[in-house]
Amino acid sequence: MDWPLFLEFSLVGLLSGGLLALIALGFVLVYKGTRVINFAMGEFMMLGAYVYWTCAVPLELPWWAALAITLAAIGLLAAAVERFVLRPLAGQPVISIVMATIGLAAVLHGAAEGIWGGQNLALPELLPRKPLILGELLLPGQVLWSFALAVALIAAFTAYFRLSKGGVAMRAAASDPVTAYAMGIDVRRTQRLTWVFAGVTGAVAGIIVASMTSLSPSLGAVALGVLAVIILGGLDSVAGAIVGGLAVGWLEAVTVGYFGGQARDVVPYLVVLAILMVRPYGVFGTRDIERL
Amino acid sequence: MHILEADGLELAFGGIRALADVSLRAPAGGITAVIGPNGAGKTSLFNAISGFYRPSGGTIRFDGADITRVPAHARAALGIARTFQNVALFRGMTVLDNIKLGGHHRLASGPLAAMWYLGKAAGEESRLRAEIERDVIDFLEIDHIRGQRIDALPYGLQKRVELARALAMRPKLLLLDEPVAGMNREETEDMARFILDVQEERGLAVMLIDHDMGMVMDVSSHVVVLNFGKVIAAGTPAEVRASPAVIEAYLGAKGRKAFDGLAAVS
Amino acid sequence: MRIGDFKATYRHDEALFDTPVQRAWLAALALALVAFPFVAGSYYVYLACLLGIHLVSATGLNIVTGYTGLISLGQAAFMGVGCYTVAVAAKAGVPFWLALPLAGAVSAAVGLVVGIPSLRIKGLYFAVATLAAQFVLGFVFREWESVTGGVRGANVPAAALGGFELSGEQRLYFVIVPIAAVGLLAARNLFRTRVGRAFIAIRDRDISAEVLGISLFRYKLAAFAIGSFYAGVAGGLWGYFLRVATPEVFGFGQSIFYLAAIIVGGLGSILGTILGATFMTLVPEVLRAAVGWIEAAGVADAGVYLAAVREVVFGLLILGFLVFEPHGLAEVWRRTRRFFHLWPFRT
């Protein structure tokens, strides 16, 4: 057993899991806030990357301008989605709203393909490539930096939720909208804000992923793999998103390292099926208790 | 002869003890009322009897057999039927289909027979329909609405349909959770009449929860009072009405003193 | 309310086609369906065959998602299972009339494998499990080369009934349309009985369903197995019709197609299944024709955008119907009928 190789795979896996955790956070935010799995998350990621590319490459704006414009644009898109797609569906069963996000994903995906075409595009280099060498282990620079960014963002969000007034309001609205209304919290605004956060998270994650690999309309498929993370961690748990992200990242890296690249696509889904058999609510998820 | 015997039931949600050492007996062929202030554990008790909550301690015996471990969906076949506090009818179906679902556990056709329909399934359905019309729809006077969808009906009628569905199960024990909640005088009297008729004509046992004390005391033969998850009194309506513990539970300690004072004077 | 419509026996009341007028229309429809391939051009017969296949699959999906309330995102993958089963079986010499039900059975078995772990818990976990199944099956289709032929796919020999070869749309029409009709009728019958009612009960209020004696797990599993069986048969028909089984056609996008079909048509309605499947079969053709006109009108390369436009249109259809007509085309039909019941008087 080649331990240094295993260790390298493991570390790279854990580090790339940071990014998965970030995407998972986007899912968990929406689920906690609205009880809906947002199947359009991948498309937010993809569109974020495309808007960034448009700003950075043909328009040749500096990276911070491109980033600002991207976040504003995707934030606006997310708010528009909440207002024009989800709000009208408010009374309907969850199944309808989930299918609405699926429909939305199709619209966004098709639109992206129509506007930017189906070929692979390259983003200008964002994260430094310089690897970190620890003895025998080589950790790619991009993976390290993406991990660092993910950690920073997750920490920022967690701080916001725990410590700021707006964050507490969001948690209140998520857990009991009626009481939150009674306390004077504008539940509609917090729901919109939840979606904006999810969109922005997705956009950032999308830019990072695109800069590390390449950009095409199928970038969103990564998000579907992240569903494994939230199933593992529990649909409504931020801690679960983090732990799950690291775990799935590790599992993917180790599987690809030993079994080749083809396996990467299918590993998350096998994880999903396995977890559902053993611990359906995930490691940290809360079991649904219904009021009878 | 008791249709239902509960002994030492314990049920807790996190720190809240919904049922604390609850024991009761429901006589067969009688109407037992379970009353108590809000949050006393009445619906939790029903949920335990229905099988939705697994008590952490104690046993439930139905018709002599221990059913504590029996899963919820198996209790219908044993003879336990139930209505819910918030009307739990199937909104996407008509009244007739809802009531037919009451007969579900008594029918036998599987998916293949169902898809072929002619023969076994058709015969079953016809017989069920005839039986429901005769025994339930005529009895509860809901023939004029049988084809309507549930969401088109007023609340009082919905509650009656829910009772109809429970009756279609041909139960030995009928659990009614707030059958007259939200009804006016007239509707309450109608429902009370139906409950009495059901119990008399079919010889089944009824357990009901309600807050309308007038209806409860008139209709029941046996009353159990819960407060904070404990049984604080059990007996005939007259006994329970006079019990100091019950008066205190409803009116508070000061109230009891006032009540005693009034009773002493009058 | 139809005027002058009363029934003398319960049996009459429960019948599917209860008035003479309805039965007359049904007979006319049957005649039209039989005559169709002899009067219509081969392109339209081809479309009709495709519609038949879509109908079978959409019916299965409606049973699972529309009637029982379980969101399935993997219907196309289960069709793929059926298609590859037919490819393998036919090559091994299994006759057509055996291979088709076998395709359904194998799909149902895979459905059980996916359903058993994931149907024990409520909520969206099942939807995610079907998504996982979709991608895992896709992986299997691509990688299990010895059985599926990998990315190239597998050829399906022509169906044959006692020496009479069933190839080409003219002949397969008379196989696909009856099977679709039987499938629709069987599904409709299902919901006239206790099993179907149990499915709807589970969708509407599963706690109540349990109280009535319905084992949620067993019935959900049954619904999913039935839906997968339909998908498998549809996939098998696809194989005999297009004569090839390839991984791409059974991807996530196609699963969305069937979801769109039942949302557009109307969840929980057989009529909705018919309307939705018809609508969705025609949409790509209309789009293709529209793009053709645009190209002819001088905008070159418009065809490049066809795939993207198709996707956007599918998505907009799903969103549009969910927001504006959540009960689908079936509800539109019902409203129109009600309007004409008393026409020219107004209700």
- C18 has a pLDDT exceeding 60: yes
Q: Quick one: C194 exposed, middle or buried, by C-beta within 10 A (0-12, 13-18, 19+)?
A: buried
Angle at the Cα of C159 from the Cα atoms of C158 and C162, rounded to 5 degrees: 125
Task: Return the pLDDT at B42.
Answer: 92
Inter-chain residue contact B126 with C210, CB threshold 8 Å: no
Secondary-structure class of domain B1-79+171-266 per CATH: alpha beta
Task: Return the pLDDT at A42.
Answer: 92
Q: C226 to chain B: nearest residue by CA?
A: B111
Secondary-structure class of domain C40-341 per CATH: mainly alpha
Is-contact C195 C46, C-beta < 8 A? Answer: no
- For residues A124-138, give the mean pLDDT: 80
Average predicted confidence (pLDDT) for chain A: 85
Relative to beta strand B16-27, strand B2-13 is: antiparallel
* C interface test, pick of B78, B90, B145 with most C CB neighbours within 10 Å: B90
Task: Return the pLDDT at C130.
Answer: 92
* A interface test, pick of C113, C128, C134, C287 with most A CB neighbours within 10 Å: C128
C165 SS3 class: strand
What confidence tier does C2 reach under pLDDT thresholds 50, 70, 90? low
Task: Return the pLDDT at C223.
Answer: 96
Inter-chain residue contact C122 with A288, CB threshold 8 Å: yes
Inter-chain residue contact C71 with A231, CB threshold 8 Å: no
Least confident piece of the model among C104-108, C142-146, C213-217: C142-146
Element of type H or E holding C164: strand C164-166
C76 versus C343: which is more confidently predicted? Answer: C76
What confidence tier does C215 reach under pLDDT thresholds 50, 70, 90? very high
Task: Return the pLDDT at C224.
Answer: 96
- A229 has a pLDDT exceeding 80: yes
- B107/C contact by beta carbon, under 8 A: yes
Inter-chain residue contact B104 with C193, CB threshold 8 Å: no
* pLDDT tens-place string over residues B15-56: 888 899 999 999 988 899 999 888 888 999 999 999 999 999
- Residue among C26, C78, C79 nearest C50 (CA): C79
Tokens of residue B211, six digits? 């807050």
What residues of chain B score a pLDDT lower than 50? none
* Domain parsing of chain B, residue ranges: 1-79+171-266, 90-170
Distance CA(C90)–CA(A215), nearest Å, equals 42
- For residues C321-347, give the mean pLDDT: 85
Q: Percentage of chain B with pLDDT > 90?
A: 53
Distance CA(B238)–CA(B243), nearest Å, equals 9
Task: Return the pLDDT at B169.
Answer: 93
C-chain CB neighbours of A109 within 8 Å are 311, 315
Q: A290 to chain B: nearest residue by CA?
A: B52
- For residues A43-64, give the mean pLDDT: 90
What confidence tier does A290 reach under pLDDT thresholds 50, 70, 90? low
Amino acid sitting at position A102: I
- B116/C contact by beta carbon, under 8 A: yes
Is-contact B80 B50, C-beta < 8 A? Answer: yes
- A279 has a pLDDT exceeding 80: no
Average predicted confidence (pLDDT) for chain C: 88
What confidence tier does A44 reach under pLDDT thresholds 50, 70, 90? very high
For chain B, the three-class secondary structure string (H helix, E strand, C coil) is CEEEEEEEEEEEECCEEEEEEEEEEEECCCEEEEECCCCCCHHHHHHHHHCCCCCCEEEEEECCEECCCCCHHHHHHHCEEECCCCCCCCCCCEHHHHHHHHCHHHCCCCHHHHHHCCCHHHHHHHHHHHHHHHHHHCCCCCHHHCCCEHHHCCHHHHHHHHHHHHHHCCCCEEEEECCCCCCCHHHHHHHHHHHHHHHHHHCCEEEEECCCHHHHHHHCCEEEEEECCEEEEEECHHHHHHCHHHHHHHHHHHHHHHHHHHHHHC
* Domain parsing of chain A, residue ranges: 15-217
Read off the pTM: 0.89
Q: Percentage of chain A with pLDDT > 90?
A: 22
- B135/C contact by beta carbon, under 8 A: no
Task: Return the pLDDT at A289.
Answer: 55
- For residues A153-176, give the mean pLDDT: 83
